[in-house]
Amino acid sequence: MNFLIRILVIAALTFGLSYILNGIHVADFWTALAFAFVLALLNLFIKPFLVLFTLPVTFLTLGLFLFVINAIVVLLASKFVDGFSIDNFWWALLFSIILSIITSAIDKKEKKDRRASY
């Protein structure tokens, strides 16, 4: 159930960020939901290989290259979903950074609430 809630949150964030960021275009919420699902699949299957192959560059940049990998995964997901488009790499980078920050904050709050309930 946690996976479904996470997909819905990412879809809502994607839909909301499309109104804030001019370079992100989402047709409707169902498109954002499809994008969130494809993004989850790419993060599960493709991203680990990208991280592994770019490990030396990631090490040299002290982990900052992971933002570039996130942007590449977002661009790749946009190619698979009709109705979702990103104007260029820089919009994808900004989108992935904002999405990562917000989902990390939600995860941190959820873990804190879970520990407080024990």
For 51, the domain range is 2-102
Distance in Å from the first CA to the final CA of the chain: 20
Structure confidence by residue, pLDDT tens digits, 11-30: 999 999 999 999 999 999 99
| pLDDT at residue 77, as a whole number | 97
Listed as ranges, residues in the chain with pLDDT below 70 are 1
Angle 73-68-109 from CA coordinates, rounded to 5°: 80
Residue 85: what pLDDT? 97
Instruction: Please report whether residue 20 resides in a domain.
Output: yes
49: phi then psi, degrees, rounded to nearest 5:
-70, -40
Query: In this structure, is residue 115 part of a structural domain?
Result: no
Domain tally, the chain: 1
Residue-wise pLDDT tens digits, 86-96: 999 999 999 99
Q: Are 73 and 47 in contact (CB under 8 A)?
A: yes
